[in-house]
Amino acid sequence: MGIIIPLILIAISCVVIWRAGDGFMTASEYIGRNLSEGVRGASINAIASSMPEVFTSLFFLFVLMDADGFAGGIGTTAGSAIFNSMVIPAVSVIAVIGIGLARRIKVSKKVMLRDGISLIITEAIFLVLISGSVLDWYHGLVLMGVYVIYITYMFMSMKSNQKNADSDEVEEEEEEEEEDRGEAPSFFISLISFNLEDLFIRNNKVTGKNAWPLLIFSTLSIAAVCYLLVIACEWMGSEVYEVPYLGSYNGLGIPLMFVALVLASAASSFPDTIISIKDAQRGQYDDAISNALGSNIFDVCFALGFPLFIFCILHGPIHMEPSDIAISSEIRFLLLLLTIVAVIIFTSSQYIGKTKAFLLLGIYFLFIAYIIGRSADNPIANSIADFLVSTVQLIIG
């Protein structure tokens, strides 16, 4: 029962994040409708789908108010980044192949290199920057600054490409976006199923008047349920936790970062998964992969940098224990290594088929097995962890 209660809360969080993420995606797609493919995936879609990571990291810090809270934020963002790099592209490809749209998908090697190299550089900065025993507001500011540089570059490249773009393509995209939405279900059915798109838009076309309220309400819904997700992860990792009016229960008694790496990250990545699958099914393959990679850059830089910046401004520096520093270094270096592997797989050719998709899934399941091994204090997993930590210490000095 002690594990079932947090799992039920996490399942509820997944559903609400998924439904609210759909509404957020509809609104953000309208707002970013004039952006080019690839740029939209790495910016508007990435930000829209990464709202759960922002709020989860915020609540981890402001609910726990200590280094464990920051460790939970690192676990969420790092786990989500690994999920995005491995699972989302693989599932998107399998979804396209499964419904017979294509036998493999073709992606722009230029886009993959652009986003992949940007992500690797970002994670290298992250590895070096968050390595001391004291974290302060300027660490968060630097991370957010890296994301501003990335977004600036993205929009500059978009403007450069637009000079050679055919205006007919823009007109076609706008026509596609103004398709008939069909008859909306009743208000009661939409409310029960938490279908925010039907609640706010109904049978009308998406406009600024209904897109912005939809965006705001979706954001508030995601924020509320992310608080529930943080509480569930805290209970899951505790030795003993207390549920109001129900009594005390036993948790797993493992570091919060490990719980966040698997459960919080997977739950918060639901919108990324849905957005990328829909992009892939529409034939927007660059957007499907760019959303996943762009989300990772947003997660590392903003979803972690912004809460760190705000928390340290209000409450002062965060002092990390040696054990937290070691686990953090281990996870950040593992994130960098897995990202390099994923980028190599993406850019080895211009096609992604079943073989690459299942290879990515296999790597992710190995990662999950490693985290489970670390949680269970497995000797093999611990020896790998010692190697990762010593390598980081050797690199940083």
**19-36 confidence digits (pLDDT tens):** 887 787 788 778 777 666
Instruction: Provide the residue count of the chain.
Output: 397
**52-110 confidence digits (pLDDT tens):** 888 888 888 888 887 788 888 888 888 888 988 888 888 888 888 877 677 777 777 77
Quick one: tokens of 144? 């957010």
In this structure, the number of other CB atoms found within 10 A of the CB of residue 174 comes to 11
- pTM of the predicted model as reported, rounded to 2 decimal places: 0.80
- DSSP per position, 41-54: IIIIIHHHHTHHHH
Residue 352, φ and ψ in degrees, nearest 5: -125, 115
Check residue 91 and give its pLDDT: 86
Place of tokens 């594990």: 3
Mean pLDDT, residues 134-153: 90
**What confidence category does residue 159 fall into, taking pLDDT thresholds of 50, 70 and 90?**
low
Packing angle, helices 208-237 and 51-64, rounded to 10: 50
Check residue 379 and give its pLDDT: 94
CA 342/CA 339 separation, integer angstroms: 5
**229-271 confidence digits (pLDDT tens):** 999 998 988 889 988 888 898 988 888 888 888 888 888 887 6
Check residue 26 and give its pLDDT: 80
